């Protein structure tokens, strides 16, 4: 009796397995290894799509699990599901994350070796949720004692704390992990979880000080403001509104409907108490979080000497109080830098830009080290005091391969990490395949695959790799820039087959690589990286003056994070790239010592919509997760393998010799069976304990034959015959009743129709009388019909004056509805004006003030939008960008400059910054006109594109006025005037204008009209500009 429930369970498992094979045309195969066209990416995608449409989100590639995020609850993570997968052989049930977890756990317990589960995929693919599901599985299914429940609870509750401090809302994911995490779960000899250890990798510190549009800072900031008690916020000097803090408001989405910060704060607060955080710990921790927000609100101003000052020290006082530092010392550290000579120290004031950099660097350093402290604190609560030998299962939740429109230093590090992990995956898969073949006594066939060691060496090789070159550029004396780093790369690794820059690429490739970019050919394809910010992010320097302040902080956490010993160590700290390379090497050493399991997470669409399958996005992820390469390696030998006992039990009915019972060794029974079916020698191999089938079609043909044989039983036919006779009698009786019911219904409908027609005729006759029983239904119908028709004839915009003509009785109502509709359209139009369009309209207003009724072509310009710039940054020579690096380019346009001597036309670029206008020739600045010395701007009343920038004749630094001609003169003058922030500087002249050739000498430009456009020097030495008679639209 005791074995009955187990037998029922086994039968249930077999039904699951059989269903997956017989329904393969509808729901695809549950293991990609069984695809016939396994080299076809389209076949791979089609199989994934079939399964996703049936809410089957898990599929195997051998022992690797592919998981597609469903963006909805599917009810597949219940306790009963956990119990179903507990202790079951890996391939006996449909693919599931519980199968991966259970297989790792059983192998660890039986073989007493260590395992790890690598979870990867892009942001929003479900990596964090997958790791939670595995932790929950172990928490529910592993044996547990009351004394060890604390360790289990701490393991589970470490997740919400790490998510609060390390996760953030991005454009792709509302709960995106902005750090890599490796967690070891420790088990004793009984398989009971007794402790754990966490290692974090490359937290995105830059998010603390800057967020893109539509993104948020780390969750903890918003949770503290939304859920913290009033008394706590008052002690920290904080207000509830996140918009008041610069570090929280840059993404313009502080409030997000899908995120409940108040509830999350309660979860994190309860987790703190379980993980053994003291009141003192929390006071210091929240003080640090609040001080980061206050840091972001420090405003700097430039004094008359060009040095930074802090006019309002309100935020400085709060930071000093929260961190336990002296206000004046902190203020000095933010606005001055300490430079150490051989025997003395010099305090130098910082510029406005450097003070902002120092403030942001301090915020990043404080948050980054506090996060490391937090991980260490959690580890100390998870440590197991029993020093007996333990086995572990590691969970690696790491960022997947990233390819964006703009890829920077972070993507470079992440993709280097994925190169190393891909190398490990392929090597371990090949090793496992080879071991199984040797164990089963089957000849091993060498497999060709892409070895990405060449790319790993390009990045990490000592003295020759990209990271080493980057480090050299960071520490070398002299002015090192991102451009000089790129030039060094071209010199050192320019001949490498997997490296390209704009300079090294061919004519076709050059167009797709910018001046400041280089391209690497990864295992998953080409990725272009922009070197802007590489040096700054790799250095990640904190000024020594600020470090001294933090080392002397009275905040206990900061004391542990910033040790005084750091000040005594004069050696330069390792760069971010080197630290990441070293930590990655340590991680790989950990992984190599363990048995692997892999989960690849896929995001089905960018909008987080359930049941939506974006082919292009998923094809992109299949490529960058290396799934096709892994499938090719897995399928290089045999597609299917099964133990003799299981294969014989399923298919024995196909052979008379093995049906109904086979008395003998299972291997002989399987051999007899496949000979009877007709397997050819190239279709299979027989190992010591398993049969290996090379082609999926062989297995499918066997499965189809098995299904056919099940339907040959004679008893089924006799049962169907008796059932058919009874069904015929029932059908006759049912038809008779149904015909009677239809006839009665038709008669009732005819009677109702006659009455209704009479009512409406009577109502039409009395339609103009006051409302009465004779016309009530007709008038109600007319009203309803008019309203229903009106919804299809509502004006679409404010300019649409059409309106459905109403019947006489509804004229007043129609007028009211029309007014309401017009007001609603006007409101919608006003609300729909974006900030960008508003700025454009403001520019048009300025254009109108300058040129309306004064210059030809003005009317045509109104309908044409102005561009932000007519020159892309990539078209500007990098040396020019370096010369004006302190100023941001607001606008640029190609122009023709006419020499003051001889009026020769020269191709130039006009660049406008906030302080000056630059006339640029290739890599040189030909003329710089500061707005403070700019006297005025002249243009003619005709349709030519001439623009004269007048400079003060007393300014001897200037050569004279600049005579320019451009295609978009209205736009260029408007942009210049808005940057000048002065009125009455534009003069629209008629006939001619005077300009200075040089101080003390004037020249003349004469404007005229003619049959065609011309610009030439006339006999009198004047510049003559002839506009065409038809006029030309100049924006």
Please tell me whether 945 is known to bind a ligand: no
User: Alpha-carbon distance 530 to 514, whole Å?
Assistant: 8
- What is the Cα Rg of the chain in Å? 38
Q: Which residues are catalytic?
A: 123-124, 128, 173, 176-177, 400, 402
Peptide bond into 444 cis (omega under 30): no
Nearest to 316 by CA among 308, 307, 328: 328
User: Alpha-carbon distance 20 to 398, whole Å?
Assistant: 31
Helix (H) or strand (E) holding 710: helix 696-710
User: Alpha-carbon distance 230 to 243, whole Å?
Assistant: 18
Nearest to 109 by CA among 75, 86, 134, 132: 86
Beta strands 176-177; 517-522: pairing state: unpaired
Helix (H) or strand (E) holding 634: helix 627-634
User: Alpha-carbon distance 807 to 814, whole Å?
Assistant: 9
Instruction: Take residue 616 and report the two structure tokens written for it.
Output: 């292009």
CB-based contacts of 200: which residues, under 8 Å, 6+ apart?
A: 162, 166, 179, 180, 181, 182, 371, 372, 375
Please tell me whether 885 is known to bind a ligand: no
Q: Which residue has the tokens 């929260």?
A: 322
Q: 59 and 66 in contact (C-beta within 8 Å)?
A: yes
User: Which backbone phi and psi does 98 adopt, to 5 degrees?
Assistant: -65, -30
User: Alpha-carbon distance 447 to 637, whole Å?
Assistant: 9
Please tell me whether 191 is known to bind a ligand: no
Instruction: Report DSSP letters for 764-812, one per residue.
Output: HHTTTSPS-TTTHHHHHHHHHHHHHHHTTS--SSTT----PPPPGGGHH
Nearest to 437 by CA among 721, 239, 641, 236: 641
Nearest to 444 by CA among 692, 654, 679: 692
Please tell me whether 832 is known to bind a ligand: no
Please tell me whether 125 is known to bind a ligand: yes
Please tell me whether 707 is known to bind a ligand: no
CA torsion through residues 493, 494, 496, 501, sign: positive
Beta strands in 267-324 (DSSP E): 301-302, 308-309
Q: 144 and 187 in contact (C-beta within 8 Å)?
A: no
What torsion do the CA atoms of 435, 441, 446, 450 make, to the nearest 10 degrees?
-30
Please tell me whether 905 is known to bind a ligand: no
User: Alpha-carbon distance 915 to 843, whole Å?
Assistant: 19
CB-based contacts of 373: which residues, under 8 Å, 6+ apart?
A: 557, 560, 561
CB-based contacts of 549: which residues, under 8 Å, 6+ apart?
A: 325, 329, 330, 333
Distance of CA 269 to the CA centre of its chain: 29
Q: 992 and 1010 in contact (C-beta within 8 Å)?
A: no
Please tell me whether 122 is known to bind a ligand: yes
Report CA-CA distances (Å) from 71 to 174, 197, 602.
12, 30, 11
Helices then strands, counting H and E runs in the chain, come out as: 37, 31
Nearest to 102 by CA among 123, 80, 91, 86: 86
Instruction: Report DSSP letters for 326-371, one per residue.
Output: -HHHHHHHHHEEEEE-SS-EEEEEPPHHHHHHHHHHHHHHHHHHHH
DSSP code, position 678 = T
Report the binding-site residues. Answer: 121-128
Report the binding-site residues for ATP. Answer: 121-128
């Amino acid at each position: 009796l005791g074995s009955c429930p187990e037998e029922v369970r086994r039968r249930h498992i077999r039904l699951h397995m059989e269903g997956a094979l017989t329904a393969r045309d509808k729901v695809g195969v549950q293991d990609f290894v069984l695809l016939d066209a396994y080299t076809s990416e389209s076949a791979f995608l089609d199989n994934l799509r079939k399964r996703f449409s049936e809410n089957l989100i898990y599929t195997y590639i051998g022992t690797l699990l592919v998981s597609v995020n469903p963006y909805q609850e599917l009810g597949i993570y219940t306790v009963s599901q956990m119990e179903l997968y507990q202790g079951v052989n890996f391939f006996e049930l449909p693919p599931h994350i519980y199968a991966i977890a259970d297989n790792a756990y059983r192998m660890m317990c039986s073989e007493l070796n260590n395992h790890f589960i690598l979870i990867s995929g892009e942001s929003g693919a479900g990596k964090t949720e997958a790791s939670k599901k595995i932790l929950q599985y172990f928490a529910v299914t592993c044996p547990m004692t009351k004394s060890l429940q604390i360790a289990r609870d701490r393991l589970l509750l470490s997740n919400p704390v790490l998510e609060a401090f390390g996760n953030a809302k991005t454009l792709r994911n509302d709960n995106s992990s902005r750090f890599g995490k490796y967690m070891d779960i420790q088990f004793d000899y009984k398989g009971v979880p007794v402790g754990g250890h966490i290692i974090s990798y490359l937290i995105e510190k830059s998010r603390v000080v800057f967020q893109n549009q539509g993104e948020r800072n780390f969750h903890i900031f918003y949770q503290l403001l939304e859920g913290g008690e009033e008394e706590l916020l008052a002690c920290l000097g904080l207000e509830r509104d996140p918009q008041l803090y610069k570090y929280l408001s840059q993404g313009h989405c502080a409030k997000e409907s899908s995120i409940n910060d108040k509830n999350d704060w309660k979860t994190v607060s309860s987790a703190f108490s379980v993980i053994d955080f003291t009141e003192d710990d929390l006071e210091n921790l929240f003080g640090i979080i609040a001080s980061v927000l206050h840091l972001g609100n420090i405003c700097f101003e430039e004094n008359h000497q060009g040095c930074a000052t802090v006019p309002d020290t309100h935020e400085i006082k709060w930071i000093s109080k929260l961190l336990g530092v002296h206000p004046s010392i902190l203020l000095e550290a933010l606005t001055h830098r300490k430079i150490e000579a051989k025997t003395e120290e010099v305090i130098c004031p910082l510029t406005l830009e450097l003070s902002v950099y120092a403030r942001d660097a301090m915020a990043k350093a404080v948050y980054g080290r506090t996060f490391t402290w937090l991980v260490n604190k959690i580890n100390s609560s998870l440590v197991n005091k029993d020093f007996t030998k333990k086995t572990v299962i590691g969970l690696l939740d790491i960022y997947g391969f990233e390819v964006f429109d703009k890829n920077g230093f972070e993507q470079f590090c992440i993709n280097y990490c994925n190169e190393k992990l891909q190398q490990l995956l392929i090597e371990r898969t090949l090793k496992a395949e080879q071991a199984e073949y040797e164990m089963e006594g089957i000849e091993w066939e060498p497999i060709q695959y892409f070895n990405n060691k060449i790319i790993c060496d390009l990045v990490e090789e000592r003295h020759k790799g990209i990271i080493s070159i980057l480090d050299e550029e960071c520490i070398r004396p002299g002015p090192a820039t991102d451009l000089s780093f790129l030039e060094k790369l071209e010199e050192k690794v320019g001949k490498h087959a997997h490296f390209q820059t704009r300079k090294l690429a061919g004519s076709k490739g050059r167009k797709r690589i910018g001046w400041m970019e280089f391209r690497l050919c990864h295992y998953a394809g080409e990725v272009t990286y922009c070197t802007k910010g590489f040096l700054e992010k790799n250095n990640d320097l904190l000024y020594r003056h600020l470090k001294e302040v933090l080392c002397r902080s009275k905040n206990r956490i900061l004391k542990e994070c910033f040790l005084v010993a750091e000040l005594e160590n004069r050696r330069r700290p390792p760069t971010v790239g080197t630290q990441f390379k070293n930590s990655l090497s340590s991680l790989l050493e950990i992984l190599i010592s363990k048995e692997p399991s892999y989960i690849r997470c896929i995001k089905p669409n960018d909008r987080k919509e359930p049941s939506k399958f974006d082919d292009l996005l998923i094809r992109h992820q299949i490529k960058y997760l290396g799934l096709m390469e892994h499938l090719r390696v897995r399928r290089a030998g045999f597609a299917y393998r099964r133990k003799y006992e299981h294969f014989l039990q399923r298919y024995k009915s196909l052979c008379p010799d093995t049906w109904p019972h086979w008395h003998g060794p299972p291997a002989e029974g399987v051999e007899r069976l496949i000979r009877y079916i007709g397997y050819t020698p190239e279709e299979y191999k027989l190992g010591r304990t398993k049969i290996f089938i090379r082609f999926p079609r062989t297995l499918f043909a066997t499965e189809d034959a098995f299904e056919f044989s099940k339907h040959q039983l004679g008893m089924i036919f006799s049962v169907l015959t008796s059932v058919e006779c009874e069904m015929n009698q029932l059908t006759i009786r049912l038809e008779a009743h149904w015909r009677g019911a239809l006839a009665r219904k038709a008669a009732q409908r005819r009677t109702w129709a006659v009455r209704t027609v009479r009512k409406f005729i009577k109502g039409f006759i009395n339609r103009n009388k006051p409302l009465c029983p004779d016309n009530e239904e007709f008038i109600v119908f007319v009203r309803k019909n008019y309203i229903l028709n009106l919804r299809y004839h509502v004006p679409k915009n404010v300019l649409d004056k059409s309106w459905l003509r109403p019947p006489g009785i509804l004229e007043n109502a129609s007028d009211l509805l029309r007014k309401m509709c017009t007001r609603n359209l006007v409101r919608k139009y006003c609300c729909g004006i974006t900030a960008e369009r508003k700025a454009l309209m403001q520019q048009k207003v300025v254009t109108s003030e300058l040129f309306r009724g004064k210059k030809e072509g003005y009317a045509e310009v109104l309908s044409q939008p102005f561009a932000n710039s007519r020159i892309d940054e990539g078209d500007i020579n990098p040396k020019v960008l370096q010369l004006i690096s302190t100023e941001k380019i607001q606008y640029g346009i190609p122009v023709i400059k006419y020499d003051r001597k001889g009026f020769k036309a020269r191709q130039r670029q006009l660049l406008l910054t906030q302080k000056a206008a630059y006339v640029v020739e290739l890599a040189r600045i030909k003329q710089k006109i500061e707005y403070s010395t700019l006297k005025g701007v002249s243009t003619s009343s005709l349709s030519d594109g001439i623009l004269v920038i007048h400079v003060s004749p007393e300014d001897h630094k200037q050569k004279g006025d600049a005579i320019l001609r451009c295609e978009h003169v209205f736009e260029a003058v408007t942009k210049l005037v808005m940057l000048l922030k002065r009125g009455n500087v534009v003069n629209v002249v008629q006939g001619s204008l005077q300009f200075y050739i040089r101080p003390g000498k004037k020249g003349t430009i004469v404007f005229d009209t003619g049959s065609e456009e011309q610009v030439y020097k006339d006999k009198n030495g004047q510049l003559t500009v002839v506009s065409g008679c038809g006029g030309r639209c100049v924006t």
